[in-house]
C-alpha cells in the first residue's frame, strides 16, 4: 500500500509541468520582489500597530490588544489574498493560449485534468508561500498573549480554503475566455461580487427584513448571502475563538461582528454550507476547466463507457 502511495505521490511531484511551472515562477526576479514587498508591508503594518498600542502603556501583556492585532493582520492577509490571487491565476491558461504554447502542451500525454490541477497547485503555491512566510510575524502576537497557535492555524485554514476557491474561479475564467485581460477583469469582478456584492446584498436583505411582515425569509436570504462571504466567515471564526473585544470601536468592524452574531454564522450549518460551496465549487470549476481544455475528453469517455456497457 505504501509503495503504491509513494509511487503515486512520487508521480505527482515528478509531474514535469509542476516542476516546470515552479521552476519558472520561482526563478523570476518578480517573485523575489513580490515576496520581499509582501513581508515588508505586513511587517511595517504589524510593528506600527504594536508601536501605537504599546505607547503609554504600563502593561506589556494585553490579550485584548493582541487579539485586535491578530484580527487586523488576518483581515489584511485576506485582503491581499483576494487581491493577489486573481492576478496570478487568471492568466495561467489564457496566457498559454496567447503565447501559443497550449496546442503543443495538449498534444503531450499529459491529461487535461493533470494540466488544470497542476496549474491550480502552482497558482496557489506562491500565495501559500507568502502566507507561510508571515508565520514569524504572526508569532509576535504570541509574545503578548491572548492568541494561541491553534487559533492562528484555524484562521490560516480558512484563508487557504478561500485562496483555493479564488484560484479556481480565476482559472475557470482563464480557460473559458480567450484573453488574459478579460479573464483578469472577470476574476476580479467575481471576487468583488462575493466580497462586496455579498455584503451589500446581505445588508439589503436585512433592511427588507426590518420593513417586511415576513421577516424570516429575508433573514434567511441575508444569512445565505453572508455565509458565502469570506469576510463574514472569518469574523465568525474569530468570534468563535473569542476574539471579539470591546476594542472594536470602528463602526464597520463592529457591524461585521454584530451581523455575524445576529445571523448566527458561527453555527455548524453555516460552516457546512461555506466549506461545501468552497471545496466542491472549486472542484467543479476545475472539472469544467478540464472539459473545456479538451472538449472531446468526456464525450469520448462517455462513448467508451456506453460501448462497454452495450458489449
Footprint (CB under 8 A) of another protein, residues 16-55: 16-17, 19-20, 23-24, 27-28
Query: Which of 61, 280, 295, 302 contacts another protein by CB under 8 A?
Result: 295
Which residues, other chains included, contact 2 with Cβ-Cβ below 8 Å and sequence gap of 6+?
none
299 binds another protein (CB under 8 A): yes
CB of 40 or CB of 303, closer to another protein: 303
Shortest spacing between CB 20 and another protein, in angstroms: 5
Q: Quick one: cell of 59? A: 502593561
Residue pair 89/171 in contact (Cβ under 8 Å)? The answer is yes
Q: How far is the CB of 4 from another protein (least distance, A)?
A: 19
Smaller CB separation from another protein, 181 or 295: 295
Measured distance CA(137)–CA(44) in Å, rounded: 10
Alpha-carbon torsion angle 175, 111, 298, 166, nearest 10: -40
The verdict on 10 binding another protein (CB under 8 A) reads no
What is the C-alpha separation between 85 and 240, in angstroms, rounded? 27
In the region spanning residues 161 to 180, those forming contacts with another protein, defined by CB under 8 A, are none
Positions in 97-126 near another protein (CB under 8 A): 99-101, 103-104, 106-110
Q: Smallest distance, Å, CB 16 to another protein?
A: 4
Nearer to another protein, 8 or 19 (CB): 19
Per-residue x/- track, 126-145, another protein (CB under 8 A): --------------------
Q: Which is nearer to another protein, 157 or 295 (CB)?
A: 295
Q: Kindly tell me which of 103 and 246 has the beta carbon lying closer to another protein.
A: 103
Q: Alpha-carbon distance 296 to 105, whole Å? A: 16
Query: Smallest distance, Å, CB 24 to another protein?
Result: 5
| Minimal distance, residue 278 CB to another protein, in Å | 31
Site for another protein, rule CB under 8 A? 14, 16-17, 19-20, 23-24, 27-28, 99-101, 103-104, 106-110, 294-296, 299-300, 303-304
Amino acid at each position: 500500500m505504501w509503495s503504491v502511495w509513494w509511487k503515486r505521490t512520487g508521480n505527482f511531484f515528478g509531474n514535469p509541468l509542476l516542476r516546470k511551472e515552479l521552476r519558472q515562477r520561482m526563478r523570476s526576479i518578480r517573485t523575489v520582489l513580490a515576496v520581499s514587498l509582501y513581508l515588508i508591508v505586513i511587517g511595517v503594518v504589524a510593528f506600527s500597530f504594536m508601536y501605537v498600542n504599546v505607547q503609554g502603556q504600563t502593561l506589556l501583556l494585553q490579550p485584548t490588544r493582541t487579539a485586535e492585532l491578530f484580527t487586523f493582520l488576518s483581515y489584511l492577509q485576506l485582503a491581499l489574498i483576494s487581491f493577489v490571487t486573481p492576478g496570478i491565476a487568471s492568466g495561467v491558461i489564457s496566457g498559454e493560449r496567447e503565447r501559443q504554447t497550449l496546442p503543443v502542451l495538449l498534444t503531450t500525454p499529459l491529461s487535461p485534468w493533470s494540466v488544470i490541477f497542476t496549474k491550480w497547485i502552482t497558482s496557489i503555491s506562491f500565495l501559500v508561500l507568502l502566507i507561510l512566510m508571515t508565520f514569524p510575524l504572526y508569532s509576535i502576537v504570541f509574545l503578548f498573549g491572548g492568541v494561541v497557535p491553534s487559533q492562528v492555524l484555524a484562521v490560516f485554514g480558512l484563508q487557504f480554503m478561500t485562496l483555493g476557491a479564488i484560484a479556481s474561479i480565476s482559472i475557470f475564467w482563464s480557460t473559458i475566455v480567450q484573453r488574459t485581460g478579460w479573464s483578469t477583469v472577470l476574476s476580479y469582478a467575481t471576487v468583488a461580487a462575493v466580497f462586496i456584492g455579498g455584503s451589500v446584498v446581505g445588508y439589503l436583505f436585512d433592511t427588507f427584513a426590518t420593513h417586511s411582515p415576513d421577516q424570516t425569509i429575508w433573514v434567511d436570504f441575508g444569512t445565505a448571502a453572508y455565509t458565502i462571504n469570506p469576510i463574514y466567515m472569518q469574523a465568525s471564526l474569530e468570534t468563535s475563538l473569542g476574539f471579539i473585544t470591546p476594542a472594536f470601536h470602528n463602526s464597520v468592524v463592529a457591524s461585521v461582528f454584530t451581523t455575524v452574531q445576529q445571523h448566527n454564522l458561527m453555527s455548524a450549518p453555516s460552516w457546512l454550507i461555506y466549506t461545501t460551496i468552497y471545496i466542491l465549487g472549486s472542484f467543479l470549476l476545475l472539472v469544467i476547466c478540464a472539459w473545456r481544455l479538451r472538449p472531446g475528453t468526456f464525450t469520448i469517455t462517455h462513448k467508451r463507457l456506453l460501448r462497454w456497457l452495450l458489449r
